[in-house]
């Protein structure tokens, strides 16, 4: 027969085993369900990744189409090659994105293969367009771009939209499945917790009835360290009895040791307090300590500097009188963290946007926390505040946040903002959204002729014009280098026509400080009721913009050329009268050489604009009296190359670009910039160099004395074969002497 004690022990053991089995089964089930949920969550993340990646592809395809247009419009071979390299980089980037989608897409892989095949076809079409451009078949390439390439781009974007829609639908389906599994998981967790709690209550009852009285006697004896009647007198033959007997023996030895330890503890406390004081004074953050009434008991130098109160002023004051904090946004006083720490007995941190107002009124953005000071008995007897100045960090964070959504030059919204806005409008299925696309005219020529500082000024002036000419609720975006996009909600085609007219008129009337007057080609489109794809609306606006730009290109170029002439005459000694005289002398030589009339016209234009590159040179060099130093001379001799770039960028001037580049070449090969000699130098440049040199010699300049006509002729004759073409000098001298 089992005794009562043995029976109880076996029941306890059986009960414990059942409890452990139940708990282990619950844990295993929870782990399995959690693993399934995690896998499902990972799975439904894939469609979202596909969505964002496909949007990147869509954006890159549109950008690639824009680059193709620039390639087919430019006549500068260097710029064209740069754009071709850029387009190749974009192609690689798109193919990399497609590789990512191959691994994550949950739909029919054939959809991805179709997009890749269409993209490869579009690359071949782009190569064809580039080949036509290099062959200077501009009419053919313009039609090819507006038909084949554009249609291919539309089709590619539509197929991309199919992938995007499928990925979104799949993400929702998988998310619902994960939610269902999570609910099951939660039920199992709650059930397990309740089971464990119930079993714990039963065990607690058993323990309190059989073991707790003995344990309470042991605890009481330990607290009194075995003094007096509190020694253990438990007469038990189980484990608790063994513990009580050993404890009685141990307490006898502790009595003497405790007296020594108490003395050492007091000495250690004194050292700790001094170390703490030194630490608080040395720490890099501001530190204030108070008692339970909020009265300051200590303040370190950093806190003193930030609050504006010296330690002798602050100690003894209420902390709220020294530590004055407000919400930066609402200007409402922030409740004292000291009061909350004392009330709640835990660490309290300040909310964001908290500022400290110092004694002299200076504001500091701060990061702060307060904590209770607790003695060895667990009793709170004060509060410590630790805070630091994060003003510069806050300013840097705000600047980074601002620049992530705004253009640094103009302050307008940037491409990231536009992408986010388009996604938002498409998700909300907003109707009647209008888009205006603008392309700044003359930016490249401004950068080449006057430097990027003037190009930046032109972009800023355009941004100001757009702000004052469009509705206040419009979103204005700097889309790229010279492209701007306006997004206007609740509008129609007529309103967009009116807005574009206002912008054009504002450009004409703007009091510009730029050498090239602000001008922008515009196109617009409104989101169709049956089409929620704003990217297609953007492309339609862009197409209209390029059509308008093509129609206006002749008038725009003539305005730009005239602006360059005016700037040249205002900036240097070159006057319109000088240009006309050089043109007249050059015409005399050209006619005597029996050149074709087209060549004569080119020479006259070259004579007027041969020094156009000087508009990029600083006035201090152009107008300097006396000889230029070596650095100034290096700058001066670059003007033929600058003029060449300017002329090459304007179709009306490309035929004289080579003449501008070579008009300072010497017949004997000692000129610049390429050291050409003899007939390697274009005849237009050889003629203009003689005419220009003659007029400079016989007209008054503030940096030299005027020569007589006879002396100038002698100088030309002296420089025959070295600086000037001998045959052309003879022709000119003979005619000028008549």
Mean pLDDT of the residues in the chain? 79
* Inside any domain, residue 7: no
**In this structure, what CATH number is given to the domain that contains residue 471?**
3.30.70.270
Band (pLDDT 50/70/90 cuts) for residue 573 is: low
Say if residue 42 is in the same domain as residue 184.
yes
CATH assignment at residue 202 = 1.20.120
C-alpha 322/C-alpha 305 separation (Å) is 12
Q: Do 182 and 43 belong to one domain?
A: yes
Last residue of a domain, one of 563, 588, 610: 563
- Looking at the predicted structure, is the pLDDT value of residue 449 above 80? no
| pLDDT at 263 > cutoff 50 | no
The b/e string for 127-165 (b: 16+ C-beta within 10 A; e otherwise) is eebbebbeeeeeeebbebbeebbbebbeebbebbbebbe
388-423, pLDDT tens digit by residue? 888 888 887 777 877 788 888 898 999 999 899 988
pTM: predicted TM-score of the whole model, two decimal places: 0.47
CB of 67 within 8 A of CB of 79?
no
Domain identity same for 365 and 223: no
Q: How far apart are the first and last CA of the chain?
A: 152
Q: What is the CATH number of the domain that holds 576?
A: 1.10.3210.10
Residue 1 lies in a domain: no
Residues 513 and 523 in one domain: yes
Same domain for 194 and 217: no
pLDDT for 232 equals 57
Q: Say if residue 229 is in the same domain as residue 333.
A: no
Residue 4: inside a domain: no
45 with 168, same domain: the answer is yes
Q: Do both 27 and 147 map to the same domain?
A: yes
pLDDT band, residue 275 (cuts 50/70/90): low
pLDDT of residue 209: 61
> Which of 223, 255, 282 marks a domain boundary?
282
Last residue of a domain, one of 563, 582, 617: 563
Average pLDDT for 605-620: 84
DSSP 461-493: HHHHHHHHHS-TT-EEEE-SSSEEEEEESS--H
Residues 624 and 576 in one domain: yes
Q: List the domain range (segments joined by +) for residue 330.
A: 285-397
What is residue 413's three-state secondary structure?
Answer: strand
Are 467 and 346 contained in the same domain?
A: no
For residue 380, the number of C-alpha atoms closer than 13 Å in the C-beta half-sphere is 22
Count of domains observed in the chain: 5
Do residues 602 and 681 share a domain?
A: yes
On whether both 206 and 220 belong to a single domain, the answer is no
Identify whether 3 is part of a domain: no
Write the pLDDT tens digit of every residue in 667-698: 999 999 999 999 999 999 999 999 999 998 98
Which candidate, 484, 427, 492, places its Cα nearest to that of 459?
Answer: 484
């Amino acid at each position: 027969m089992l005794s009562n004690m043995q029976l109880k022990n076996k029941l306890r053991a059986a009960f414990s085993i059942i409890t452990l089995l139940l708990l282990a089964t619950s844990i295993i089930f929870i782990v399995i369900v959690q693993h399934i949920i995690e896998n499902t969550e990972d799975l439904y993340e894939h469609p979202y990744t596909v969505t964002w990646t496909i949007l990147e592809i869509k954006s890159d395809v549109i950008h690639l189409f824009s680059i193709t247009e620039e390639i087919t419009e430019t006549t500068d071979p260097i710029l064209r090659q740069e754009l071709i390299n850029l387009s190749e980089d974009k192609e690689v980037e798109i193919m990399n994105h497609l590789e990512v989608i191959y691994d994550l897409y949950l739909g029919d892989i054939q959809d991805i293969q179709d997009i890749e095949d269409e993209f490869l076809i579009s690359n071949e079409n782009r190569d064809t367009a580039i080949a036509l451009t290099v062959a200077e078949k501009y009419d053919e390439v313009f039609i090819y771009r507006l038909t084949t390439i554009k249609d291919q781009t539309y089709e590619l974007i539509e197929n991309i939209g199919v992938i995007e829609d499928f990925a979104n639908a799949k993400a929702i389906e998988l998310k619902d499945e994960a939610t269902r599994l999570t609910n099951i998981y939660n039920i199992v967790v709650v059930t397990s917790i309740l089971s464990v709690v119930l079993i714990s209550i039963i065990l607690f009852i058993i323990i309190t009835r059989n073991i707790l009285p003995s344990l309470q006697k042991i605890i009481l004896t330990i607290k009194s360290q075995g003094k007096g009647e509190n020694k253990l007198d438990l007469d038990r033959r189980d484990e608790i009895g063994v513990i009580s007997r050993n404890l009685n023996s141990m307490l006898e030895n502790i009595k003497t040791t405790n007296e020594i330890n108490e003395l050492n503890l007091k000495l250690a406390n004194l050292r700790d307090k001094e170390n703490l004081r030194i630490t608080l004074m040395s720490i890099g953050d501001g530190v204030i300590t108070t008692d339970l009434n909020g009265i300051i008991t200590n303040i370190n130098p950093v806190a003193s500097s930030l609050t504006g109160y010296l330690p002798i002023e602050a100690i003894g004051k209420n902390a709220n009188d020294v530590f004055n904090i407000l919400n930066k946004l609402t200007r409402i006083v922030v409740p004292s963290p000291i009061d909350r720490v004392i009330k709640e007995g835990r660490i309290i941190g300040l909310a964001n946007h908290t500022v400290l107002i110092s004694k002299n009124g200076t504001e500091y953005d701060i990061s702060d926390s307060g904590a209770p000071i607790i003695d060895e008995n667990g009793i709170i007897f004060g509060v410590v505040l630790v805070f630091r100045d994060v003003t510069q960090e806050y300013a840097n964070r705000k600047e980074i946040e601002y620049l992530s959504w705004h253009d640094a030059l103009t302050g307008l919204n940037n491409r990231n903002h536009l992408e986010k806005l388009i996604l938002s409008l498409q998700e909300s299925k907003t109707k009647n959204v209008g888009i205006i696309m603008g392309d700044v005219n003359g930016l490249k020529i401004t950068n080449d002729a006057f430097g990027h500082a003037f190009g930046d000024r032109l972009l800023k002036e355009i941004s100001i014009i757009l702000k004052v000419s469009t509705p206040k609720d419009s979103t204005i975006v700097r889309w790229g280098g010279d492209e701007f996009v306006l997004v206007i909600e609740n509008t129609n085609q007529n309103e967009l026509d009116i807005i574009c007219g206002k912008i054009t008129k504002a450009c004409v009337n703007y009091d510009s400080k730029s050498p090239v007057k602000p001008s922008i080609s515009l196109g617009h489109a409104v989101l169709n009721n049956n089409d929620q794809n704003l990217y297609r609306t953007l492309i339609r606006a862009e197409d209209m913009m390029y059509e308008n730009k093509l129609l206006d290109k002749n008038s725009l170029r003539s305005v730009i050329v005239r602006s360059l002439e005016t700037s040249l005459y205002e900036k240097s000694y070159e006057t319109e009268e000088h240009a006309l005289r050089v043109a007249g002398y050059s015409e005399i030589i050209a006619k005597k050489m029996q050149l074709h009339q087209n060549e004569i016209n080119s020479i006259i234009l070259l004579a007027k604009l041969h020094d156009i590159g000087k508009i990029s040179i600083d006035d201090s060099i152009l107008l300097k009296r006396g000889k230029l130093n070596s650095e100034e001379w290096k700058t001066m001799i670059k003007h033929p190359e600058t003029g060449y770039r300017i002329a090459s960028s304007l179709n009306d001037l490309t035929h004289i670009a080579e003449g501008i580049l070579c008009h300072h070449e010497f017949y004997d090969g000692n000129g610049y910039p390429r050291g050409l000699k003899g007939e390697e130098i274009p005849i237009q440049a050889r003629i203009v160099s003689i005419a220009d040199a003659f007029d400079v010699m016989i007209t008054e300049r503030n940096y030299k004395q005027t020569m007589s006509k006879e002396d100038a002729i002698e100088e030309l004759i002296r420089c025959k074969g070295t600086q000037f073409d001998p045959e052309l000098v003879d022709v000119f001298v003979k005619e000028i002497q008549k």
